Amino acid sequence: MKLRCSQKNLASSINIVQKAVSMKTTLPILKGILFETCGQTLKLVGTDLEIGVEHHINAEVLSQGAVVISSRLLGDIIRKLPEADVEIEVDALNNMTIRCENSEFTLVGQPAIEFPELPLVEEDHAYEIPQDLLKNMIRQTVFATALDETRPILTGVLMEMQEGVINMVALDGYRLSLRQGNIKTSYSNRAVVPGKTLNEIYRILSEGEDGKVEISFTDKHVLFQTASTKIISRLLEGEFINYRQIIPKEFKSRVKVKTKDLLDSIERASLLAREGKNNLIKFSIKDEFMTITSNAEIGRVFENLRIELEGDDIDIGFNSKYFLDALKILDSEEIYLNFTTNVSPCIVKPTDTNNYTYLVLPVRLAG
Amino acid sequence: MKLRCSQKNLASSINIVQKAVSMKTTLPILKGILFETCGQTLKLVGTDLEIGVEHHINAEVLSQGAVVISSRLLGDIIRKLPEADVEIEVDALNNMTIRCENSEFTLVGQPAIEFPELPLVEEDHAYEIPQDLLKNMIRQTVFATALDETRPILTGVLMEMQEGVINMVALDGYRLSLRQGNIKTSYSNRAVVPGKTLNEIYRILSEGEDGKVEISFTDKHVLFQTASTKIISRLLEGEFINYRQIIPKEFKSRVKVKTKDLLDSIERASLLAREGKNNLIKFSIKDEFMTITSNAEIGRVFENLRIELEGDDIDIGFNSKYFLDALKILDSEEIYLNFTTNVSPCIVKPTDTNNYTYLVLPVRLAG
């Protein structure tokens, strides 16, 4: 194997496939990146057996071949090389020599044959989605997945495709985040994609590729594919909660408030809420004002916000974290907060679009 | 106590005095910041008994007083307030009420009388030094102090003032860093200032104040004073090593090399050096070239640099860390490396100024 490519392309490619490489693995070969020539392109692959990432770059391939090289060391080396052409040569004993201007590295590699193959996902029934939309949908849902593994299905995001619409839903028992988007499709499908996979996809898409993503499913796997990158992940098994029946349709109070003002106030109130138990903050909504209060042994806080209220006054308590998470990912200037009673869920919605719904359960107030 | 001041000034003042506040202290009062009015200024003080920082801001003082308030909580609150006027009121029970636009916080404080007084340092014999020069001198020396406490005196930087010259020197048994500067003074003095103090001073000066610093000493303490800030620290006790006799005056080989090229090459070589023992890198200097090599089980590296050599060829080994530290703080485009034998120290000097000297001991090469 012998090839030449640009340091910049190689460094960025390693960056991408490294997102699937885990340093904690007990299988030494998985700490490596597979290098494999395919005609005049170089394919790099990293995997932790849960997620696999495959990325292609242009290269001047002088002789074909494949090898597995330590991901961490190789990444550090390529990043430190000058922006110039890099020459890579692998001998029969899997030793890789890297030459770039005045530097020459020789690294001991492993046989490519020992590297696991990524699962095969056919691309016949692919859903096509713009990258920006997919990134936004991930950002607005994945934060609401459960972090603990007691109910594994809740660590994933449900993706539901039907009649030109894609829904992504995450919930963790305390809150639910639902984002709707439009896609071109005639196939229906639903699958639960691990939150970790979506986080990695978000980071890979943020590396700067534009364009569209094609998403394909098998029973057990999902494939996300851009022009130069394939991300393959296992799906979560099990039945996702019927989320539609959780979301109330009617309300007794509707508050309209500026997103940024509410975020700032809750951030300040949470400084005291974190000193006590439960991150408890209390909303008191009455006429044109909403006050947010929190008490701790070391002090108390009182925030006063101007709002527009339709319906009844209400006093209700929340874990400030669950509100902050949602307020940080909402893009609209103003939002609605919909309440029924102080023991039933609050629904947060942007005022300028109907594509997002957040549900958060209240904390029962003493007395 | 009652006053009004700007959120921005208050936040930046808290930021400065917090650098002296340790969260690890066993004395609860030291987790607080002293607030004290002095006429139409507000004085803030933080200390961990080793370092004390006092900072003054303008305030509209309506009634005088003093109190101690939790540093962490107060800092977090003030930083989160909007850029507007902040009203602070303290009652007889040391409760502080903070009002700013639509926010009101009440925090439980402690009596100011319990806060330790900072040591008194007279300012009669002050040395005056431009802030930029002091920052540079700190940056170019403090990294070479010892990190372990087995010889406490080596955790500090020697400051030597004599006849218009100030020398700052740090050494840790493996390398030595000496920076010389010019100051106006007719007093001679020498004292060893803890590295930690100098790091905090560097960070405080980087907060953006311009102008000069006045430095005053007592037997046990040093005072650094700018227009609005006083930093008082204890000095280290004990005799500093006679560093002048360590620095060789004559050499057998002198290498001239581009600082950035050498830094880049050693950074790359150190990627393999860190895989082995001792971070060992080897220089082979011959005619117009210097090669840098390092070997580890996983691979090897070979870097080739063009140099100008006067004198003998030499092969010599170093711990790459000690070279990198110095190359990162050198501002000149080219440097000299001066060698005698491969078991005697190497001296690094900028080519464009005589105010900096770095000494580093070699690692004995096997064979």
pLDDT digits (tens, 9 = 90+) for B344-353: 999 999 999 9
Please give the sequence-ordered ranges of beta strands (E in DSSP) within B209-311, or none if there are none. Answer: 212-217, 221-225, 229-234, 253-258, 280-286, 289-296, 299-306, 308-311
Q: Distance between CA B18 and CA B23 in Å, rounded?
A: 10
Q: In 3D, which of B134, B158, B137 has the Cα closest to residue B146? A: B158
Q: Distance between CA B6 and CA B311 in Å, rounded?
A: 63
Answer yes or no: do A39 and A101 share one domain. Answer: yes
* Chain B residue numbers touching A257 (CB-CB < 8 A): none
In a domain, A224, yes or no: yes
pLDDT of residue A155: 97
In a domain, A147, yes or no: yes
* Chain B residue numbers touching A81 (CB-CB < 8 A): 268
Q: Which residues contact A248 (CB under 8 A, 6 or more apart)?
A: A338, A340, A344, A345, A347
In a domain, B367, yes or no: no
Cα A27 versus chain centre, distance: 26
Domain closes at, from A206, A227, A244: A244
Cβ pair B73:A298 closer than 8 A: yes
Q: In this structure, what token pair is assigned to residue B52?
A: 């004390």
Answer yes or no: do A252 and A233 share one domain. Answer: no
Cβ pair A299:B275 closer than 8 A: no
pLDDT band at B367 (very low <50, low <70, confident <90, very high): low
Cβ pair A301:B267 closer than 8 A: no
Cβ A313 vs Cβ A319: under 8 Å: no
Q: In this structure, what token pair is assigned to residue A344?
A: 């039933």
Q: How many domains does the structure of chain B reveal?
A: 3
Establish if A264 touches chain B: CB-CB under 8 angstroms: yes
CA angle B225, B231, B237 (to 5 degrees): 115
Q: Distance between CA A344 and CA B46 in Å, rounded?
A: 46
Give phi and psi for A27, each to the nearest 5: -95, 105
3-state DSSP assignment of residue B324: helix
A129-147 in b/e form (b: 16+ CB < 10 A) is bebebbbbbbbbbbbbbbe
Nearest CA in chain B to A81: B268
- For position B228, which CATH number holds? 3.10.150.10
In a domain, A292, yes or no: yes
pLDDT of residue B273: 93
Give percent above pLDDT 70 in chain A: 99
pLDDT of residue A206: 83
Cβ pair A299:B80 closer than 8 A: no
Q: Distance between CA A329 and CA A331 in Å, rounded?
A: 6
* Chain A residue numbers touching B268 (CB-CB < 8 A): 77, 80-81, 103, 105
Answer yes or no: do A76 and A46 share one domain. Answer: yes
In a domain, B236, yes or no: yes
pLDDT band at B23 (very low <50, low <70, confident <90, very high): confident
Neighbours of A232 (CB within 10 A): 24
* Chain A residue numbers touching B304 (CB-CB < 8 A): 102-104
Q: Which of A177-186, B106-115, B225-234 has the lowest mean pLDDT?
A: A177-186
For the segment A277-292, the average pLDDT, to the nearest whole number, is 94
pLDDT of residue A277: 74
Q: Distance between CA A280 and CA A86 in Å, rounded?
A: 56
The pairing of beta strand B314-319 with beta strand B127-130: unpaired
Q: Distance between CA A267 and CA A294 in Å, rounded?
A: 11
Domain closes at, from A90, A114, A138: A114
Q: Give ipTM to 2 decimals.
A: 0.90
pLDDT of residue A256: 98
Q: Distance between CA A3 and CA A87 in Å, rounded?
A: 6
Q: Which of A56-60, A116-120, A207-211 has the lowest mean pLDDT?
A: A207-211
The pairing of beta strand A103-108 with beta strand B299-306: antiparallel
Q: In this structure, what token pair is assigned to residue A363?
A: 């904390």
Q: Distance between CA B176 and CA B194 in Å, rounded?
A: 16
For the segment A2-8, the average pLDDT, to the nearest whole number, is 97
Answer yes or no: do B70 and B131 share one domain. Answer: no
Cβ pair B299:A275 closer than 8 A: no
Give percent above pLDDT 90 in chain B: 90
Q: Distance between CA A207 and CA A14 in Å, rounded?
A: 12
pLDDT band at A187 (very low <50, low <70, confident <90, very high): confident
Give phi and psi for A102, each to the nearest 5: -95, 15
- Closest CB to A271: pick one of B80, B82, B275: B80
Sign of CA dihedral B237, B242, B246, B248: positive
Answer yes or no: do B280 and B234 share one domain. Answer: no
Answer yes or no: do A225 and A262 share one domain. Answer: no
Q: In this structure, what token pair is assigned to residue A48?
A: 């932790």
pLDDT of residue B276: 79
* Chain A residue numbers touching B95 (CB-CB < 8 A): 299
Q: Mean pLDDT score of chain A, rounded to an integer?
A: 95
pLDDT band at B186 (very low <50, low <70, confident <90, very high): confident
Interface test with A, best of B70, B95, B102 (most A CBs within 10 A): B102
Q: Which of A84-98, B89-103, B122-136, B197-211 has the lowest mean pLDDT?
A: B197-211
**Residue ranges making up the domain that contains B82:** 2-114
In a domain, B121, yes or no: no
For the segment A283-304, the average pLDDT, to the nearest whole number, is 96
* Chain A residue numbers touching B264 (CB-CB < 8 A): 80, 82
Which single residue is written with the structure tokens 């909660």? Answer: A241
Cβ pair B298:A107 closer than 8 A: yes
Alpha carbon of B86: minimum distance to chain A alpha carbons (Å): 14
Q: In 3D, which of B241, B240, B239, B187 has the Cα closest to residue B217? A: B187
Establish if A206 touches chain B: CB-CB under 8 angstroms: no
* Chain B residue numbers touching A297 (CB-CB < 8 A): 108
Answer yes or no: do A253 and A215 share one domain. Answer: no
Cβ pair A298:B107 closer than 8 A: yes
B211 half-sphere exposure, CB direction, 13 A CA radius? 10
Domain closes at, from A92, A114, A136: A114
3-state DSSP assignment of residue A282: strand
For the segment A352-361, the average pLDDT, to the nearest whole number, is 97
**H-helix or E-strand spanning residue A269:** helix A259-273
Q: Distance between CA A91 and CA A73 in Å, rounded?
A: 19
For the segment B161-175, the average pLDDT, to the nearest whole number, is 95
Answer yes or no: do B279 and B225 share one domain. Answer: no
Q: Distance between CA A329 and CA A87 in Å, rounded?
A: 44
Cβ pair A107:B73 closer than 8 A: no
For the segment A101-110, the average pLDDT, to the nearest whole number, is 97
Alpha carbon of A169: minimum distance to chain B alpha carbons (Å): 32
Neighbours of B289 (CB within 10 A): 13
Neighbours of A242 (CB within 10 A): 7
For the segment A212-219, the average pLDDT, to the nearest whole number, is 94
Cβ pair B105:A299 closer than 8 A: yes
Q: In this structure, what token pair is assigned to residue B146?
A: 């010892």
pLDDT band at B224 (very low <50, low <70, confident <90, very high): very high
3-state DSSP assignment of residue A152: helix
In a domain, A346, yes or no: yes
Asked if residue A207 has pLDDT above 90, the reply is no
Q: In 3D, which of B80, B86, B325, B173 has the Cα closest to residue A269? A: B80
pLDDT band at B365 (very low <50, low <70, confident <90, very high): confident
Q: In 3D, which of B80, B18, B10, B96 has the Cα closest to residue A298? A: B96
Asked if residue A367 has pLDDT above 80, the reply is no
Asked if residue A226 has pLDDT above 80, the reply is yes
Cβ A170 vs Cβ A142: under 8 Å: yes
Q: In this structure, what token pair is assigned to residue A295?
A: 């008490």
Answer yes or no: do A209 and A254 share one domain. Answer: no
Burial of A261 (0-12, 13-18, 19+ CB in 10 A): middle
* Chain B residue numbers touching A107 (CB-CB < 8 A): 298-299
For the segment B65-76, the average pLDDT, to the nearest whole number, is 97
For the segment B91-97, the average pLDDT, to the nearest whole number, is 97
Answer yes or no: do B207 and B258 share one domain. Answer: no
For the segment A2-11, the average pLDDT, to the nearest whole number, is 97
Burial of B37 (0-12, 13-18, 19+ CB in 10 A): buried
Cβ B194 vs Cβ B234: under 8 Å: yes
Answer yes or no: do B148 and B236 share one domain. Answer: yes
Answer yes or no: do A131 and A240 share one domain. Answer: yes
Compute chain A's Rg from CA coordinates: 25
**Window A:58-117, CB contacts with B under 8 Å:** 70, 73, 76-77, 80-82, 95, 102-108
Cβ B75 vs Cβ B14: under 8 Å: yes
Q: Mean pLDDT score of chain B, rounded to an integer?
A: 95
Burial of B258 (0-12, 13-18, 19+ CB in 10 A): middle
**Window A:271-300, CB contacts with B under 8 Å:** 271-272, 275, 297-300
In a domain, B182, yes or no: yes
Q: In 3D, which of B350, B357, B339 has the Cα closest to residue B144? A: B357
pLDDT of residue B208: 66
Compute chain B's Rg from CA coordinates: 25
* Chain B residue numbers touching A73 (CB-CB < 8 A): 271-272, 275, 298-299
pLDDT of residue B170: 98
Q: In this structure, what token pair is assigned to residue B293?
A: 């090599």
pLDDT of residue B278: 80
